[in-house]
Amino acid sequence: MKIVVINGTPRKYGRTRIAAKHMADTLNAHLIDLSTMDLPMFNGDKDQSSLANVQLLDETAREADAFIWLSPEYHGGLSGALKNCLDFLNGDHFKQKPVLLFSVAGGGKGGINSLNQMRLIGRALYAHVVPNQMVLDPHCFIREENRLTEEAAEKVQSNLDEFKQFAERMTR
């Protein structure tokens, strides 16, 4: 089963990227890293579809069986980078496919907004966004070591295990 993890932070040193890399490594999944991918701003022009990164995104998403979307919470919402990436895609890439959501927030009880917005977008793309979801606050990270704490990693793992089981049942 091909799981694709989308890192929705535009920041190379973002916490979301740490979490996304952790998940991609753990699941042996493909990582779409929006902090390094250099996607242009979607403008609907036909010539954008011939750009190498846009084609790569299209092919990777088309071949995926399941997705994990991670977004930072920015100003009470999902990141512009993730929304822009999803605007290049459509229901053909997501229909009937399971999606698991994570938000990375500032620790002031944020995160739920980007989760809810991603959930709405997933519905618009005909994806099966699973009910489980998780917010990762700054205390979930050991910043100097660019990794999740043991406690956060365990909680993430339990979400990933349950998601993988569900995705395997759906793709059987």
Binding site for ligand FMN (CB under 6 A): 9, 11, 14-17, 72-76, 104-106, 108, 110
Nearer to ligand FMN by C-beta: 98 or 111? Answer: 111
Terminal-residue alpha carbon distance, the chain:
10
Q: How far is the CB of 104 from ligand FMN (least distance, A)?
A: 4
Task: Reduce the DSSP state of residue 4 to 3 states and report it.
Answer: strand
CA distances from 85 to 34, 70, 72, 74, 132 (A): 8, 12, 14, 16, 23
Q: How far is the CB of 24 from ligand FMN (least distance, A)?
A: 15
Q: How far is the CB of 147 from ligand FMN (least distance, A)?
A: 14
CA distance 99 to 130: 6
Q: How far is the CB of 89 from ligand FMN (least distance, A)?
A: 21
Closest CA to 8 of 108, 136, 131: 136
Nearer to ligand FMN by C-beta: 35 or 48? Answer: 35
Nearer to ligand FMN by C-beta: 12 or 172? Answer: 12
